[in-house]
Chains A and B, each alone.
Chain A
Amino acid sequence: MKSDVRLLKGNEAVAEAAVRSGCDGYFGYPITPQSEILETLMALRPWETSGMQVVQAESEVAAINMVYGGAAIRRRVMTSSSSPGISLMCEGVSYIAAASLPCLIVNVQRGGPGLGTIQPSQGDYFQAVKGGGHGDYHCVVLAPCSVQEMYDFVFDAFEVAFRYRVPVIMLADGMVGQMMEKVKLTPPRQRRTQDEIIAECDTWALTGRGAHRQRNIVTSLQLQASEQEAFNLQLQAKYRQIESRETRWEEYRTEDAEWLLVAFGCSARICRESVDKARREGLRVGLLRPITLWPFPSGRIGELATKVKAMMTVELNAGQMVEDVRLAVNGRVPVWFYGRMGGVIFAPDEVLDNLKKQIESK
């Protein structure tokens, strides 16, 4: 089949992917730098073709609770926002995780804290990976580094979300959201029919209490401590399963590397250039790019800690993922950090110069 290749912004690719992946509903609120997702969906008018509903909510708080409602009746639902808006959604994400509901939340990160800046940042790593909302829960976190991945990860996210009934965050940033690249689009998939939904999810989804089954309840409340703990243990068991099966990462020139860069998202794109430049200078540098930030590729980073002399984590923040890298390395080799904040983006040379400085002072 002839493939459909287009030049798209990352945000537009998310909108195209939503419609083509058979998404049932999108609920969002405008915020820079991701408003093109809602704008593109409104222009595509999918309610006239696939039947997908698109609602501009009155706030991010309302949007995430609409996602909760849509997920409770087992529809493929999603929202998108940028950092301050995601902060508003965190309560809802905790409820979604606690009610074991699947959904996709796209965060096109901007600089913070506070209203911050509209330029790219990776300052929400902690929020996405460590929780954001209250209580012991996790979201699967996918970090795209290209417009193609912003498209593909919508499909991947829904797969994982429904496999485990968990919220999935696509942790993008203003750079991949705003830049334009070639994207290979896939043929549209059908939305699930009501009969398919009932066949798959009648044990938990709100499909209507019929004569054939007891009522289904979507809730996150347990007043008894022992019942709540039993639920917590169930949830943790599910998370251990996700860790063992769904961890994804990509390596670049690590086979003979003495020095390892660890970076995700747009930072990893930049670090690839740094690796090539280092190699031309005779410095054996490699790159590990976590694709899932949770579950984190701790095992592989631990293995590489026995092979390289040191690692440097490179992030657009004050040093967040570096904590997980250090936990994985567990003191076996030095783990340095280089980062920029506030929407300032490093160049490949800048990363390499800092690596060289660290090596010299070792």
Chain B
Amino acid sequence: MREQDIICEQNKVYSKSRILTDATMHYCPGCSHGVVHKLIAETIEEMGLQQRTIGVSPVGCAVFAYNYLDIDMAEAAHGRAPAVATAIKRLAPDKVVFTYQGDGDLSAIGTGEAIHACNRGESIVMFYINNAIYGMTGGQMAPTTLCGMKTATSPDGRDPKLHGYPYKIAEMLALLDGVCYVTRQTVASVTHIRRAKRAIRCAFENALAGRGVSFVEIVATCNSGWKMSPVAANKWLVENMLPFYPLGDIKNVKEE
């Protein structure tokens, strides 16, 4: 059988989302960002929301999310994406607005903005990529760095006496009345990716219905920062991150 007989439309089982651009991603091989971008792009495409969606990217590795997602996007100052998204949603209520932030951006420098956007109940989607490290600046300790974990600024491992404890901001935000949906997912395996996609869809549906904040945490790898191969990083995530950051829905008002 000739190659062109195999590569044809009726044999197609998978294609790249139209919402993902052809730009070469700057993310390291093995990084979770690319998979999460893909899931967001697919969800926007499947729900027909390209023209209605406005994204807000953070400071950190995902600052360039706007290079890969073919939608209108604003890049926010470090930690301020939820404030930027608040104004966009208030002034253009017909738009679907999401923020995309890392653990340093959302749960260190931007804790205040995250809590208050949640507390005001802005009908936006907040993505929180938790890889327990500052990736872009070269692997420094994050608020979510596990105890004992070595980083550039905790070379002997995170010591709570010196650095405080890792914390779970998703559980904290779930306490706020303005938040309708809090879930923690990962993209460490195909099964996990499918579950994460369902959660992303649920979050976008909540935003369309005006239910308040949907908060989607993705426990992610930073194999370069962790100094591991992609395979080892995925294994380490399952064995070390997930026991401390358990997966599943933390709050779902629609089902309660």
Residues of A within 8 A of B (CB): 24-25, 27, 53, 55, 57-59, 61-63, 65-70, 72-73, 75, 77, 91-92, 95, 99, 206-211, 215-221
Indicate the member of A69, A211, A221 with the most B CB atoms within 10 Å.
A69
Residue from B71, B74, B77, B86 in contact with A209 in the complex, judged by beta carbons closer than 8 Å: B71
Residue from A66, A91, A99, A219 in contact with B87 in the complex, judged by beta carbons closer than 8 Å: A66
CB-nearest residue of chain B relative to A62?
A: B83
Confirm or deny: B76 has a beta carbon within 8 angstroms of a beta carbon on chain A: yes
Minimum CB–CB distance from A202 to chain B (whole Å) comes to 10
CB contact under 8 A between A66 and B74, given known A73-B91, A206-B54, A208-B54 = no
Contacts of A27 in B (CB 8 A): 87
Residue from B54, B77, B90 in contact with A65 in the complex, judged by beta carbons closer than 8 Å: B77
Q: Residue-by-residue, is B42-54 near A (CB-CB < 8 Å gives 1, otherwise 0)?
A: 0000000011111
CB-nearest residue of chain B relative to A218?
A: B74
A340 to B91, CA, bound (A): 43
Q: Is the CB of B76 within 8 A of A68?
A: yes
Contacts of B39 in A (CB 8 A): none
Q: Is the CB of B91 within 8 A of A65?
A: no
CB-nearest residue of chain B relative to A76?
A: B91
Q: Is the CB of A70 within 8 A of B74?
A: no
* Majority secondary structure, B binding face: mixed
Q: Is the CB of B77 within 8 A of A25?
A: no
Minimum CB–CB distance from B217 to chain A (whole Å) comes to 22
A208 to B116, CA, bound (A): 26
Q: Is the CB of A55 within 8 A of B87?
A: yes
Q: Is the CB of B77 within 8 A of A68?
A: yes
Minimum CB–CB distance from B124 to chain A (whole Å) comes to 11
Q: Residue-by-residue, is B211-247 near A (CB-CB < 8 Å gives 1, otherwise 0)?
A: 0000000000000000000000000000000000000
A193 to B50, CA, bound (A): 21
Of the A-B pairs whose beta carbons lie under 8 Å apart in the complex, a sample of 20, sorted by A's number, is A25-B87, A55-B87, A58-B112, A61-B112, A62-B83, A65-B77, A68-B87, A69-B85, A70-B90, A72-B88, A73-B95, A75-B87, A77-B87, A92-B77, A92-B80, A206-B73, A206-B74, A208-B53, A218-B73, A219-B75
Contacts of B70 in A (CB 8 A): 209, 215
A43 to B73, CA, bound (A): 34
Minimum CB–CB distance from A162 to chain B (whole Å) comes to 15
Residues of B within 8 A of A (CB): 50-54, 56, 63, 66, 69-77, 80, 83-88, 90-92, 95, 112-113, 115-116
Minimum CB–CB distance from B88 to chain A (whole Å) comes to 5
A58 to B176, CA, bound (A): 15
CB contact under 8 A between A69 and B72, given known A58-B116, A206-B54, A208-B95 = no
Residue from A66, A91, A209 in contact with B51 in the complex, judged by beta carbons closer than 8 Å: A209
Q: Is the CB of B88 within 8 A of A206?
A: yes
Q: Is the CB of A55 within 8 A of B90?
A: yes
Residue from A69, A99, A210, A218 in contact with B86 in the complex, judged by beta carbons closer than 8 Å: A69
Contacts of B92 in A (CB 8 A): 73, 75
CB contact under 8 A between A72 and B50, given known A209-B71, A217-B75 = no
Q: Shortest 10 CB-CB distances between A and B: which pairs? A: A69-B87, A69-B84, A65-B83, A65-B80, A219-B75, A66-B87, A58-B116, A206-B72, A70-B87, A62-B83
CB-nearest residue of chain B relative to A75?
A: B91
A218 to B66, CA, bound (A): 9
A31 to B88, CA, bound (A): 25
A186 to B95, CA, bound (A): 33
CB contact under 8 A between A217 and B66, given known A95-B77, A209-B71 = yes
Contacts of A57 in B (CB 8 A): 83, 116
Contacts of A220 in B (CB 8 A): 75
Indicate the member of B52, B87, B95 with the most A CB atoms within 10 Å.
B87
CB contact under 8 A between A72 and B80, given known A66-B87, A67-B87 = no
Additional A-B contact list (19), CB under 8 Å, known A62-B80, A65-B84? A24-B91, A25-B90, A58-B115, A63-B83, A68-B76, A69-B76, A69-B85, A69-B86, A70-B91, A72-B74, A72-B88, A206-B73, A208-B52, A209-B50, A209-B72, A215-B69, A218-B73, A219-B74, A219-B75
Minimum CB–CB distance from B185 to chain A (whole Å) comes to 26
A39 to B94, CA, bound (A): 28
Q: Is the CB of A62 within 8 A of B74?
A: no
A24 to B84, CA, bound (A): 15
Indicate the member of B56, B77, B112 with the most A CB atoms within 10 Å.
B77
